[in-house]
Amino acid sequence: MSPRKELLLSAAVVVLFGFAPWLSPLAHVELSTMSELLVTAIAVMSVNLLLGYTGLPAFGNAAYFGLGLYGAALSLKYLPHVDFVLALLMGMAAALIGGLILAPFLLRRRGIYFGLLSIAFGQVFYFIAYRYTDVTGGEDGMQIARPYAGLPSAHVVVTDFGFYYVALALFVAALVAFRTIVRSPFGRTLVAIRQNEPRVRYLGLNTDRFIFVALLISATMAGLSGALFGLLINFAAPLQLDWHQSGYFVLSMILGGAGTVWGSLVGAFIYVIGKDVISTITAAWQIYLGAFFVACVLGFPRGVLGTLQALGRRSPQTFADDNVNAAFDPNAPVEVGRGV
């Protein structure tokens, strides 16, 4: 796709989302669900950077998401004069600090071991939020009063309507930043690490340092998403830090297309809207969600955009980041056993 066509298509998608407050009632979807979709897409992006591009099974991003959530919630509760923007920044800072603490441990391993470490270390924050009832409200969670936007007189962001546009603006900003990162030499190096880390190292690059920076970017993005989520639902609970949440993010990433720029939005769209629709139909929605997991992993491993890319590859016109999905080709032989 030419840059011009890509820009036009992107603009069309953003404009379409700009009309969502009028379009979503037609499909019986609440505006808050649309906000949740955009917020979730940012978290899925953070997983995509680590797993889709760098090839690290990021099954612990719910921890950063939760740190963002509690960072915003606690600063609103315990610090004076915290406005909307500051709450978001506090959330991102909390997640960044969490990333800085965990990175030295996570960096030591790759492959599924990295995934296992991410799950295990991520769970620490769950128990902290769960246990320290005096500060965090424990299992019951804590209410968050949605703050003013900067000035006490500006009530813009307080409404759901206003919040949606804040979420949309931040999503677009995150997407532009994400695209810039993955198309930069830095992002290309991350893809190279996924495809063959030893070779990158033989070329003289310190892969640990690249992964470290990717981890911090990912953590901060997840933190932004978590803080926004807290301000959206005005509530923080330990369940949002649980590893289940990480699994949902990873599934959304697979659904949309691992290693694609827009895959995060597509995946979040399918996951959030799908969950919304199923949960209105049946109380046992978890069965359908689980079955959906199984079916997608078995039958649709490339996701929507990955499949489209694979189709596009047969024609002479191809996406700019054509080979990004090569390492995720489900038909490529992967050695069983040690070959991780």
Partner 1 sequence: MIEHLGPQLFNGLVLGAFYAIVALGLSLIMNLTGTINMAHGSFMTLAGYLAYSMVLRHVPFGWALVIAPLFAVLVGVIVERTLVRPLYKREPFYSLLMTFGLSLIAEEVFRLVWGPNGVPFSPPASLAGAASLGFMQFPTFRIFIVGVLVIAIAALALFLTRTRFGLRLRAAVQDSEMIAALGTNTQLLYAVNFSLGIFLAGIAGVLAAGMLGLSPTSGNALLMPAFVTVIIGGMGSLFGSIVGGLLVGIAISMTTLFIPAASEVAMYVLMAIVLLVRPRGLFGEEGIFG
Give the residues lining the site for partner 1 (CB under 8 A). 51, 57, 59, 105, 108-117, 119-121, 123-124, 127-128, 130-132, 243-244, 247, 250-251, 254, 284, 286-287, 289-294, 297-298, 301, 327-328, 330, 333-340
Distance in Å, CB of 289 to partner 1, minimum: 6
Instruction: Decide whether 55 or 147 has the Cβ nearer to partner 1.
Output: 55
Distance in Å, CB of 238 to partner 1, minimum: 11
Distance in Å, CB of 312 to partner 1, minimum: 22
Instruction: Decide whether 76 or 324 has the Cβ nearer to partner 1.
Output: 324
Contact 119, 103 (CB under 8 A): no
Instruction: Decide whether 20 or 191 has the Cβ nearer to partner 1.
Output: 191
State the Cα–Cα distance between residues 275 and 265, nearest whole angstrom. Answer: 15
Distance in Å, CB of 300 to partner 1, minimum: 11
Instruction: Decide whether 205 or 289 has the Cβ nearer to partner 1.
Output: 289
DSSP 143: E
Distance in Å, CB of 217 to partner 1, minimum: 20
Q: Which long-range contacts (CB under 8 A, 24 or more apart) does 180-183 make?
A: 181/49, 181/217, 182/49, 182/53, 182/261, 182/321, 183/320, 183/321
Q: What is the three-state SS of 178-237?
A: HHHHHHCHHHHHHHHHHHCHHHHHHCCCCHHHHHHHHHHHHHHHHHHHHHHHHHHHCEEC
Instruction: Decide whether 314 or 338 has the Cβ nearer to partner 1.
Output: 338
Distance in Å, CB of 178 to partner 1, minimum: 21
List, in order, residues 6 or more apart from 29 with CB less than 8 Å away. Answer: 273, 276
143 beta partners: 235
Instruction: Decide whether 123 or 189 has the Cβ nearer to partner 1.
Output: 123
